[in-house]
Amino acid sequence: MANRGVEEMSEDSAPVVLIVEDEPDVAETYNLWLADSYEVRLAEDGDEGLELLDDDVDVVLLDRMMPGLSGDEVLERIREGEYDCRVAMVTAVEPDFDIMEMGFDAYLNKPIRSDELHETVESLLERSAYDDLLQDYYSLIEKQATLETTKSNAELAENEEFVRLEEQIQRLRDELAGTFGGVEDDEEFIATLRDLNDGGDLT
């Protein structure tokens, strides 16, 4: 299912953000923060979230721990349904190595600030215009960064799945870098990817 590009979203209507959150006060807070810039849909559990999901949804803000369908299950169904929306887990659940099997695009630990939420939504909307390879790269980088903030270097080095994650990131990095030549560091690499995407070379 194809999602709308950034230009189409700006010309057509405000981007659609679906908030799936079982705590009403938290959901309403996110709504108040975002409503001036986006069309916001609110769902109080996973089942309602899936009911409100359609091809117009650009970003999903998804809690992990909810009654009924968990956020993990909702995320799995979103990906199985081939919706091309970006998904941010916004949750109090401390990330563990199991997140490497999950198809989210960003992972935010509660409590979060208004500016943090806005920056995440804007970043995910930008990624919606990227090609599949670049989206995959950003998703893997997000998982790597999330785990690096919660695990020690020793824990990361001892986990075989994390080591494979790093190897996969390097393979994708090499594949992407091959389109424009070598770069010296990660910051330069990311900046170059963004410049190329803005110029239309990667989409």
Q: For tokens 């198809």, what's the residue?
A: 103
Q: What is the pTM of this model?
A: 0.77
**How far, in Å, CA of 71 to CA of 66, rounded?**
7
**How far, in Å, CA of 82 to CA of 99, rounded?**
19
pLDDT recorded at residue 127: 82
pLDDT recorded at residue 15: 95
Q: For tokens 């990817």, what's the residue?
A: 193
pLDDT, averaged per 10 consecutive residues of the chain (203 residues), comes to 46 86 96 96 96 96 92 94 91 88 91 95 86 83 92 94 93 75 51 51 42
Under DSSP, is residue 40 helix (H, G, I), strand (E, B) or coil? strand
Whether the Cβ atoms of residue 134 and residue 197 lie closer than 8 Å to each other: yes
pLDDT recorded at residue 195: 55
pLDDT recorded at residue 166: 94
Whether the Cβ atoms of residue 110 and residue 29 lie closer than 8 Å to each other: no
Half-sphere exposure of 167 toward its Cβ, with a 13 Å CA cutoff?
A: 7
For the CA atoms of the chain, what is the radius of gyration? 17
Which CATH code is given to the segment(s) 6-129? 3.40.50.2300
Domain ranges of the chain: 6-129, 135-198
pLDDT recorded at residue 136: 85
Q: Which two tokens stand for residue 33?
A: 């923060």
pLDDT recorded at residue 202: 42
- Which amino acid belongs to residue 145? A
